[in-house]
Structure 1
Amino acid sequence: MPPVGAALWRSLRAHQVYGANTDVGKTIISTVLCNAIQRQNQQAAFLKPVSTGALDDADDRHLRRFGAGTLTKCLYQFDDPVSPHLAAKDKVVRTPSITQVRKLILKQIPRDDDLLASIHRTLSGWARSDIDFALVETAGGVHSPGPNGNSQADLYRPLRLPIVLVADSRLGGISSSISAYESLLLRGYDVSSVVLFRDEYYQNHEYLRDYFKGKSIPLVSLPAPPPRPDQLDASSQLRDEEAMLNYYQKSAKESEILRLLEGMNEKNVKRIERLEEMADRARDLIWYPFTQHQGMKAKDITVIDSAHDDYFQTFGSSETKSESELRPTFDGSASWWTQGLGHGNPDLSLSAAYAAGRYGHVMFAGAVHEPALSLASDLLKTLDNPRFTKVFYTDNGSTGMEVAVKMGLRASCDRYGWDASHEQIGILGLKGSYHGDTIGVMDCSEPSTFNQKVEWYRGRGHWFDFPLVKMVDGAWKVEVPNEMKKDLGEDAEFSSLDSVFDLAERQNSATALRYKEYIRRTIEDLVQRQGMKFGALILEPVILGAGGMLFCDPLFQRCLTDVVRDHPELFSNNAPAPKQSPSWSGLPVIFDEVFTGLYRLGRRTSASFLGVHPDVAVNAKLLTGGLIPLCTTVASEEIFNAFSSPEKSDALLHGHSYTAHAVGCTVAVDSLKTMAKLDTDGSWDKYREDWRTSSNTSNESSTPNVWSVWSQGLLQDLSCADSVESVFAIGTVLSISLRDAEGGGYTSNAAKGLQQKLAAGGDQFNVHSRVLGNILYLMSSVTSKPENLQEMERLLRSSLA
């Protein structure tokens, strides 16, 4: 089903009521607030998404009785007076309306998404009418389970309504109230106000008033309601109702309540005003990365209010008062390739908060803390490379690759007796590769738009052109550049993506022999005839990201690695004969897995697609699930030993102040565990099944080696569209190459049209995407729901129709 967006209207001040505990008086506070609104000649409404217990005691009925004309609604009313996750199990559910009660036998528990959609539809309907103020009241405490057993704090998070927190006035209430507040804060809620009953003995309201004043959150304390009679006969029930009516009439007139409501209204107005001016202010104040600002307008800037799972909640001034000011926007770049476990992931947020509370940040040189040690150990197990023994920490992919280049060049110079201060040592790589924006790794890429006007750039190396994997008109192809066909042969067609990656079969082919001979001759010419020296082979395995989502034939990358390792004599006359792993041979092989590693392509490592164990590998982005920057450069013992000597100057003198920061390491440990679990617990079985049944494999019962969250059917359809040149998908990545009469490339505008259609979106959501010239790519998280991606696929098809 379509995603549920955050809820924000100009005409409707909607808030969610959470309790610090059970039985703290949420419904009484809600009734007071609604009474106060009604007495201001405004219309209030009350929504109880899930209620349990006897119908006569239902909270919406209480509001109907004492709410002075408040409109009420309950979505699900369960018979048993227990937690919703227990009450919902094979129970009778009543869906009450004002005029009647209908009984239904639920065959299954209402899905969280369905519940959220019902809430959003109800609020939207009220925004269309004359309702001015609405409360959505939860059941029990902040972490009381919803019908499916999920904490309410997580269940209702996509709506991100401002919170009225009903604090606990009883013994222990200070602790439970502050704990509830912190739980909401960790999940990105805005607590608008705090309300509780006065208790002259415990005086929690006095302590909490000072506490929340320091947070700039107003607190209102009300007199406790009259106690209920022990036994309710007709006479005592009438007296009880009269007492409650008097209580509500008096409380609704309290000046503190009136000021509170005025403040809630003001916050709603100011929130929208802030969102309205953000784009203009950003245009004036911010210098954006990878952006030409000439002609840039405020409307070109996406205003993000919050994010949850795969979606931003973006601001767009609504044309009618029934529309929410916020719209769900699919994060099509997976927040520029970092997003792995969903925005606003509460588990990762809690991990980060724990580490921040335990350590803050502590220096790392010559010291160690548990998160850094645990991550190093876990990462080595995850990468499963027998060469790797050492983990070096940096802050992001670019600096991690800087370290990798230092490692590779030092090891080569040490082995071959080269002096880099007197001779230039370059690298071998692939055309279109890009390893970051710091000056050292920028020199490891061929001349391009990225570096042509960087004054310090001095491209140092040789970059091979290579065959590309793509789907064209429904068929998988390996397409050889025209200028290479004399050496490498013609294009080839494959029955499935699995067969492209069947390197055990393809390595014995005539194509593999041609690849190797071409690579060997090229290196021989560069070294022996042109006098070049190379200190490392650097590859982005499988997909070259920033260069334009270039899907390299895995056989070519495997052959390139094999030639470098099997022929060390190509690089130096005194090169030793090839050695068995873990010793490096020829050149140190460095894999830049910043983009493609850690399940981005559906596997723990992208190196595994090639069957290669590199000597150095760099991981970032998905390392922390998309929450916080951290990078690791992992190396072999032999690479490490190249820096070992009695001289301090021989050490790897690289680092930064936040090296191995405890917050990032703690989050990364949990991120790796979560992704490893997803790999084995069946979470991706539906995707794998689609690619198994759609591929022409001889063994239909086997799990395919290569799969994607994007369906085979989508690729077939897109690849046949008139405006599409080619497509591919692997893991979470989908790439669409649009036809361009001028040849494409990074400066092409061919993908802009599709980008604009996705940005316009449909009725339910739109898509924020980025383009690389004539390439539009989309990425999901590894936790993306199949139903969300199905909606995305429908939008893509219609946008290219």
Structure 2
Amino acid sequence: MSLLFKHLRVHQVFGANTDVGKTILTTALVRASAFTKSGVFYLKPVSTGSMDVADDEHIKRYTAPWSDHVFTECLYRYQEPVSPHLAVKIAAEESGQSQPIPTDETFVTSVANHIRECASKTKRTSDMYVETAGGVHSPTLSGTTQVEAYRPLFLPTVLIGDSKLGGISTTISAYESLILRGFIVDSILLFRDAYYRNWEYLQEYFADRGVHVASVEAPPEPLANPSENFVSTQRYYDSLLVPTAEDGILSALQHLDQCHVKRLKEIDSMPRRTLDSIWWPFVQHGLFKEEKDVTVIDSAYSDYFSIRTPSASASSQTSLLQPQFDGSASWWTQTFGHTHSSLTLAAARAAGRYGHVMFPRATNLPALKLAETLIQDGPGKGWASRAFFSDDGSTGMEVALKMALRAFSKRHNLDRASQKTLGVLGLKGSYHGDTIGVMDACEEDGVYTCEWHNAKGFWLEPPSVSIQNGEVTVTVPDSITKNGVKTYEMQSLSWTYDIQGRLSSELATIYRNYLQATLESLKNKDNIRLGALVLEPLVMGAGGMIFVDPLFQRVLIDVVRNSDSSATPSHSSWSGLPVIFDEVFVGLHRIGMESTSPLLGVSPDISVNAKILTGGLVPLAVTLASNSIFEVFLSDNKADALLHGHSYTAHAIGCEVANETLSLIKKVTSSADYVYAQQRWQPNPGEASKVWSLWDPNFIDAVSKMEKVSDVMTLGTVLAIKLKDDNAGYTSHSAEAVFRTILSPEEDNKTLSSSPGGAPFGVHYRTLGNVAYFMSSLTTSGATLRTLEDKIWKALAGQ
């Protein structure tokens, strides 16, 4: 991951194109650094062509006067003067051996390790330059373009501009390619061509964008005589070290130093500034008052944050940044890890075409495509007819409640006063967001409620599924059994989620009798009138990662839909109560399935998707509704319409990103790694299971038997571990205390999987009282998950 040292300023040098003078200008920078600093390091990760034209050899030749403190290196060298992705193939063919092509991870790790080695070699202020090959999108050894392959390192960049015909365009295009992938471009450097004068235009163009542009005289034409050419070139390089009125090499070097110092000061100042100005969500500021309590995220890539190392000192030779695994998938949003370039480009594509445009009585292509996909080939397939857009999961649920309660009110001809008394039927521990309306759809004593909260409805205590001491167990509360809490051992996890097979079981009868009796008793209470059933299917997230017995939810839906004698259940009309599925958390493969409807064997009347919907890049929510719900709002009277909306409803950027996300999800969920993870959870060879996890089944079994663990449960990307705690609940600190040791990387353990760039990593995690949960993206590698499992095991074992 990202590297940043106090004593070693590192810049990566990209070229706007091939043959723009990248090596000459890098040599000029190395010489300028050698002239003013105590040490300079130069790295050419990949070189193709003969040694006499190799870039690192050129650096050695023209920095000979400073050979005692200029150090050059090349990591991958190939004789054929072609693109690296071809050179490595040709080398393998000529050797007659089948040699694997270095992966991007191997390649970037070798670069990162060399940079760390250089940093460890010097205690004095030094500079380092990492020169790339060709243009920003020239391929690396694997065929991945450089701008993608080098991104995990997140090194500040010097862009060598193009001074030739067409160079203005290539330079601006290269700059935008770097910016789109998050690179910090500290300076643009190019030759002064007296005919095209590109530097003049580019200085003015980038001045408006706050980007430093420096230019130097172009080198003389090469001479035929090698000795004379060396003297001529040496004289040229010497001339660049003479201070001039123009913005030349020395001023460029000074600017790079200033950028480095500014970045160091900024990252060091962020904790104090944050404590002085930010009000965090879900944080008791009285418990976190010191700068060490602030996690400074400098950047993010893949499954990792790059965070400021709290313990780094001024004399340290280690990076001030360390990788930290994003163990909550950034509040459950990450789908393919951070900074996925396909999503970034999708956002840019829509921003460039639309910006933001009005939506009522209008349409835009990204929004239309997304609605059609979700209805026809997504979670709404087979039951939904309309998609309503809003800002996030909480607002999406506000919309769902409005739809459901209006539908109930109209069917029962309720007047305005009666409508205001309607409540919802839900489950204890549920959470649907922090806006006031959805707070009212949760029980009174929930920890997320506020002073204005007025619980409206009735909440059932749900049975839960967990793995206790190696056994899949359903725990049924006393409110259902009327004879204390009871536990039922299931045949297997697969059987537990085989709803059709369990519908005729004894437990189904117990659930049905309890629910029918409860709903009947609620009818006789004057102060409770229910207008909707609101569920988080299968897993209630914020309430404590409660894995609800799916049989209970299925029987609940059946009982509710059969409770109204005035309406007959059908596919074309809701009955009993409109059923809302809050799939903001669980939807779109977070728990290993696109939607919970097929597993439960029933479809909702309304559902909400968000979070994974846009891959973790921008907020967006979609509320899907059946046609019978939509038709409730149809009339000639505008007051009957769904008068609800947001300024950024169906914003094209979010919709385009969502379309790209859904397309990528299809590829991921059919990949070999994904299929292999599913197969590990098959109850028997060749027997498919509806439920599975990316986490290892043997690890889950072992953790469930540990002394500190009450129970454990997993589905898809989610792992929840409940600790034994006499003061269990949201306000408990037990889980946070137990897992505090995994925040920092284990520097001495090099055998474990490491982050992109080869560094051991810590784990960023969040807890819900005595429940610790960990979450991956859909693309987290098996090797990374096995390392996480090892860290979790050690923390639970007190090691």
Kindly indicate whether the alpha-carbon contact (under 8 Å) linking 1:314 and 1:326 is maintained by their aligned counterparts in 2: yes
Counterpart Cα distance in 2 of 1:111 and 1:18 = 21
Runs of 4+ deviating beyond 4 Å: 103-106
After TM superposition, the structure 1 = structure 2 runs for residues 272-291 of structure 1, keeping only pairs within 5 Å, are 272-291=264-283
Deviations 1:505-564 (A, max 9, x none): 111211111111111111101113556321111100110011010000011111101111
Distance 1:497 1:443, change over 3 A: same
- Report the Cα distance in structure 2 between the residues aligned to 1:474 and 1:227, rounded to whole angstroms: 76
Shift of 1:420: 4.5
* 2:665 aligned with 1:675: yes
Amino acid at match of 2:424: I
Report the 3-state secondary structure (helix = DSSP H, G, I; strand = E; otherwise coil) of the residue aligned with 1:684.
helix
Code of the residue aligned with 2:232 in structure 1: it is A
Is the 2:45–2:132 Cα contact (8 Å) retained in structure 1? yes
Q: Secondary structure at the match of 1:751?
A: helix
SS of corresponding position for 1:154:
helix
Distance in structure 2 (CA, Å) of the matches to 1:210 and 1:652 = 51
How far off is 1:487 after superposition?
7.2
Q: Which runs of 5+ in 2 are unaligned?
A: 748-759
1:722-801 aligned within 5 A: 722-742=707-727, 744-763=728-747, 764-801=760-797
Match of 2:690 in 1: 705
Quickly say closer, same or farther: Cα 1:205–1:105, change in 2 above 3 A.
Answer: farther
Q: Deviations over 1:292-335 (max 9, x none)?
A: 11132222111111111111110124245321111111111111
**Residues in 2 aligned to 1:754 and 1:214: alpha-carbon distance in whole angstroms:** 51
User: Hey, what's the Cα distance between the residues in 2 that align with 1:221 and 1:531?
Assistant: 78
- 1:376 maps to a residue whose letter is A
Task: Tell me how far 1:92 sits from its aligned partner.
Answer: 4.9
| Matching residue's letter, 2:349 | Y
Partner of 1:343: 338
Could you tell me which of 35, 42, 65 is aligned with 2:38? 42
Contact 2:158–2:188, Cα closer than 8 Å, also in 1: yes
CA–CA separation in structure 2 for the residues paired with 1:413 and 1:487: 38
Structure 2 CA distance, aligned partners of 1:269 and 1:79?
40
Select between 314-323 and 501-510 the one with higher mean Cα deviation.
Answer: 314-323
Q: How does 1:439-588 map to 2 (within 5 A)?
A: 439-451=436-448, 454-486=450-482, 490-529=486-525, 532-569=528-565, 575-576=566-567, 578-588=568-578
Q: Which residue of 1 aligns with 2:750?
A: none
Q: C-alpha offsets along residues 457-515 of structure 1, whole Å, 9 cap, x if unaligned?
A: 11111111111111111221111224433479942223432111111211121111111
- Cα gap change, 1:622 to 1:90, in 2 (>3 Å): same
Question: Where does residue 241 of structure 1 map in the other structure?
Answer: 230
Query: Is the Cα contact below 8 Å between 2:478 and 2:485 reproduced in 1?
Result: no
- Per mean C-alpha deviation after superposition, the further-off stretch among 467-476 and 483-492 is 483-492
Query: Which residue in 2 is equivalent to 1:74?
Result: 74
Q: Which residue of 1 aligns with 2:610?
A: 620
Within 5 A, what are the aligned runs for 1:133-172? 133-172=127-166
2:425 aligned partner: 428
How far does residue 607 in structure 1 lie from its aligned partner after superposition?
2.6
- Name the residue aligned to 1:97: none
Which residue of structure 2 aligns with residue 228 of structure 1?
222
- Whether the 8 Å contact between 1:128 and 1:321 is mirrored in structure 2 is no
Q: Distance in 2 between matches of 1:197 and 1:789?
A: 49
Partner Cα separation in structure 2 for residue 332 and residue 783 of structure 1: 13
Displacement of 1:768 in angstroms is: 1.2
1:315 to 283, 308, 311: 308
Partner in structure 1 of residue 755 of structure 2: none
C-alpha distance in structure 1 between counterparts of 2:11 and 2:37, whole Å: 19
How do 1:629-648 residues align onto structure 2 when only pairs under 5 Å count? 629-648=619-638
What displacement does 1:421 show? 1.9
Is the contact made by 1:468 and 1:550 (CA closer than 8 Å) also made in structure 2? yes
Task: Write the letter of the residue equivalent to 2:624.
Answer: V
| Contact kept in structure 2, 1:20 and 1:168, CA below 8 Å | yes
Separation of aligned partners in 2, 1:364 and 1:288: 32
Q: Is the 8 A contact 1:451 1:457 kept in 2?
A: no
Deviation at residue 384 of structure 1 after TM alignment: 4.4
In structure 2, the residue matched to 1:714 is 699
Shift of 1:106: 6.8
For 2:37 and 2:604, how far apart are their aligned partners in 1?
72
Conserved? CA contact 2:324–2:761, under 8 Å = yes
1:6–1:326 CA contact under 8 A, matched in 2: yes
Match among 323, 329, 332 for residue 328 of structure 1: 323
Helix, strand or coil at the partner of 1:39: helix
Write out per-residue CA displacement over residues 681-721 of structure 1, whole angstroms, 9 at most, x where no aligned residue: 334123113223xxx33xx1244321111111221222122
Gap runs ≥5 in structure 1:
95-102, 570-574
Aligned to 2:585: 595
The one-letter amino acid paired with 2:297 is I
Q: Deviations over 1:712-747 (max 9, x none)?
A: 1221222122111111111111111111022x1111
Equivalent position of 2:263 in the other structure = 271
Secondary structure of the 2:643 match is coil
Please, what TM-score do these two structures have when normalized by structure 1? 0.93
* 1:120-199 matched pairs, under 5 angstroms: 120-130=112-122, 132-199=126-193
Q: How many angstroms does 1:9 deviate by?
A: 0.3
Once residues 599 and 566 of structure 1 are traced to their aligned partners in structure 2, the CA distance between those partners, rounded to angstroms, is: 30
The number of aligned residues is 771
- Rounded to whole Å, the distance in 1 between the matches of 2:718 and 2:448 is 26
1:28 paired to 2:18: no
1:634 CA drift (Å): 0.6
The code of the aligned residue for 1:238 comes to S
> Which residue pairs with 2:297 in the alignment?
304
Distance 1:493 1:420 in 2: 49
Distance 2:667 2:35 in 1: 55
Matched, 1:611 2:601: yes
SS of residue paired to 1:348: helix
Q: Does residue 58 of structure 1 match 2:49?
A: no
Shift of residue 416, structure 1, vs aligned partner: 1.6
Cα distance in 2 between the residues matched to 1:486 and 1:643: 43
Give the match's secondary structure for 2:275.
helix
Aligned match of 2:351: 356
Indicate conservation of the 8 Å contact 2:92/2:99, yes or no.
no
Q: 1:137 to 1:93 in 2, by over 3 A?
A: farther
Asked if the contact 1:90/1:106 (under 8 Å) is kept, the reply is no
1:13 is aligned with what amino acid?
A: R
Contact 2:48 2:77 in 1 (8 A): yes
Alpha-carbon separation, structure 2, partners of 1:244 and 1:488: 89
What is the CA RMSD across the aligned residues, in angstroms?
A: 1.9
User: 2:578 is matched by which residue type in structure 1?
Assistant: P
For residue 663 of structure 2, what is the amino acid of its counterpart? K
